[in-house]
Amino acid sequence: MITHFQFKPLFANKEMPGWRFSFYHNKLKYTGMYHRNGDIEWTSNKPPEQYEEALKTQIHELMLFHVYDQ
């Protein structure tokens, strides 16, 4: 489960899509970039393979809720 999820725009011009995000999972902090096409680029250590797909799904859901459903 993701905790302490945060995001902010990549660019000062908020009309340009792209966001930085961070969260904790199993007491480890992860950071990355969420691109406008939905691609996720990890900027910290990549999560273990066994968790990566589930975490990506949760990030997509959170971004859809917080960014696109406003």
Closest CA to 36 of 5, 10, 62: 10
**pTM, two decimal places:** 0.86
Domain ranges of the chain: 3-68
Per-residue pLDDT tens digits of the chain, which is 70 residues long: 899 999 999 888 766 778 999 999 999 999 999 998 899 999 998 999 999 999 999 999 999 887 766 5
With vertex at residue 17, the alpha carbon angle to CA 6 and CA 27, rounded to the nearest 5 degrees, is 20
Residue 70, pLDDT score:
54
Residue 33, pLDDT score:
96
Residue 30, pLDDT score:
97
